[in-house]
Amino acid sequence: MARKSWHLDRRSFLRGMGVVCSLPYLEAMEPATRLLRTPVPPPRRALFVYFPNGCSLPEENDVQNRQWRWFPEGEGRDFRFTKVLEPLEPFREDIAIYGGLSHPKSRELLGHLAGDTWLTSGDLRGGLYQNLISVDQVAAQELKKHTRFPSFVFSSDGGVGYKSRVSTLSFDGQGRPLPSEHRQRAIFERSFAPGGGATTEERRKSIHEGKKVVDLMREEAKSLELRLGVNDRRKLEELMSSISELEDQIRRNEAWLDTPLPEFDASHVAFDAAAAADPAGYLRAMYDLMVLGLQLDLTRVMTYMLAREDAMGVGENWPRLAVGVERGHHTISHDTHEGHWDQWGPYDRWYAQNFSHLLKRLAETHDEHGPLLDSTMVLYGSACTTTHNARNYPTLLAGGRAMGVRLGHHTRFSRTALLESQNDALSGAQVQDVRRRIGEDDLPFANLLLSMLHALGVEAESFADSEGPLEGFFA
């Protein structure tokens, strides 16, 4: 078939001054006749976003404070957000919230080991560090054939940390931690430089002269626009606008590097100045980087650890900057003073407000199949309820509608309830006996992770200590 002069390859780029940016899908990439086009299946993607130290969870009968419970009130489709997750109300039909899930091998561990096992279900009860491969890396092994990078591994602190104070969520096939990246400029340049390598000297010179990445590509974009239709020109402008907004935020974050923080005791913490001074700007820029990576199909698997457990890392000081609370995040999670929930709850709400930015960007950004949110599962949660209670993980799954995920509900799982639903003939005493023999009421969190692998197209009979797919996961 003869190619029209304005036909573009599906892998097309904008180039300028050492910068390379792969284009999103455009109508001009279609063959001259769609009848000859081999249908391209929708991509399947997964993001994993983790917050540390558990969540605000006063007792359900605490009338004064139950508005600050992380979990919604009610179950099924008629659930009601409390103040904590209220910022996610615009996305309630794109969200599933699960209670009653945890890792069996982690339930008796201190909560500070939570980040180590969230995506692995590894057994860290002994003296040796014997972790397992994380679910994102299992998915990356299958999906990397489609993209430039197997996965992106992000955190707000960078590196790997150490046992019980990790700064990464990703672990390789031998259970070894994979270093995370937190320097937004480095992430940005790695994604846009030729071959994903270091920026060229010409690029460096342009940056020092104050030119923006989007300006370096503008001339070629203008010549390309002349050959594109109205819809393609709009998509191209959306891409350029996204890149421009992202670089503006990164520059603002970098500007804070010269602004000293007020004095406080942080001798044990190596703070990153930009993330420490403007946490909301930093988080949203990281979320924007993630969306841009999906938009350009650089990778289909990402993890992002918002902060480290305990009082380690940059996130410990965020409550003061975010909601005006002088106590650190870890301290809040331990306090029992009056007004405790009025501090922890608003901070969890602040996390949710920034998370809603990610969902909004995914919903507004389209590829050839529709909104990215429909083809992207976003797992958001923690591996403990409170700092030292590794049960009933706060768990939210957003997106994935195109992969058949059932959304728009709040479901509380319990092994006892499952037994009762499967065999109504069981007496109360029999149920309690089974429950005692099982030892815990929660279901394995790995059941959810296994279901996510299935939604991604990964053929797996099991993952870690899963007992099977999560009931009701698919529509």
Dihedral angle, C-alpha 394, 276, 304, 235, nearest 10 °: 110
Total domains in the fold of the chain: 2
* In a shared domain, residues 242 and 154: no
Residue 218 domain flag: yes
* In a shared domain, residues 178 and 196: no
Q: What pLDDT score does 216 carry? A: 62
Residue 124 domain flag: yes
Q: 386 by DSSP, 3-state: which?
A: strand
* In a shared domain, residues 396 and 360: yes
Residue 472 domain flag: no
Residue 122 domain flag: yes
Query: Could you tell me if 377 and 397 are in contact, meaning their C-beta atoms sit under 8 angstroms apart?
Result: yes
Q: What pLDDT score does 418 carry? A: 60
Q: What pLDDT score does 308 carry? A: 92
* In a shared domain, residues 107 and 85: yes
* In a shared domain, residues 91 and 60: yes
Residue 278 domain flag: no
List the chain pLDDT tens, one digit each, 475 residues. 444 445 565 555 555 444 456 566 666 666 544 444 566 788 999 999 999 999 999 988 899 999 999 999 999 999 999 999 999 999 999 999 999 999 999 988 766 788 999 999 999 887 777 899 999 999 999 999 888 889 999 999 999 998 878 999 999 998 999 999 998 877 877 765 544 444 445 545 555 555 566 666 666 666 676 667 777 777 777 777 767 766 665 665 555 444 443 343 333 223 344 677 889 989 998 998 899 889 888 899 999 999 998 888 899 999 999 999 888 898 888 876 667 899 999 999 999 999 999 999 999 998 889 999 999 999 999 999 877 789 999 999 999 999 999 999 999 998 766 655 555 555 656 555 555 544 468 999 999 999 999 999 999 999 999 999 999 999 9
Of 115, 168, 86, the C-alpha closest to 353 is 86
Residue 297 domain flag: no
Residue 111 CA to residue 319 CA, distance in Å, equals: 20
The verdict on pTM exceeding 0.85 is: no
Which DSSP string do the residues of 128-193 spell out, in sequence order?
A: S------HHHHHHHHHGGGSSSS-EEEESS-B-EETTEES---B-TTSPBPPBB--HHHHHHHHHS
CA distances (Å), 309 to each of 29, 145, 230, in order? Answer: 46, 34, 49
Return the H-helix or E-strand segment holding 431.
Answer: helix 428-438
Range of the domain at 406: 41-182+302-455
> What are the φ/ψ torsions at residue 124 (nearest 5 degrees)?
-110, 25
Residue 230 domain flag: yes
Q: What pLDDT score does 217 carry? A: 65
Q: What pLDDT score does 69 carry? A: 96
* In a shared domain, residues 333 and 393: yes
Q: How many other C-beta atoms lie within 10 A of the C-beta of residue 247? A: 21
Residue 17 CA to residue 133 CA, distance in Å, equals: 40
* In a shared domain, residues 211 and 161: no
* In a shared domain, residues 14 and 85: no
* In a shared domain, residues 86 and 118: yes
Query: Could you tell me if 467 and 447 are in contact, meaning their C-beta atoms sit under 8 angstroms apart?
Result: yes
* In a shared domain, residues 163 and 209: no
List residues bridging with 99 in a β-sheet.
412
Residue 123 domain flag: yes
* In a shared domain, residues 171 and 307: yes
* Residue ending a domain, choose from 224, 253, 271: 271
Of 295, 194, 202, the C-alpha closest to 243 is 295
Record the tokens describing residue 433, joined without a space: 């006996």
Query: Could you tell me if 408 and 69 are in contact, meaning their C-beta atoms sit under 8 angstroms apart?
Result: no
* In a shared domain, residues 115 and 204: no
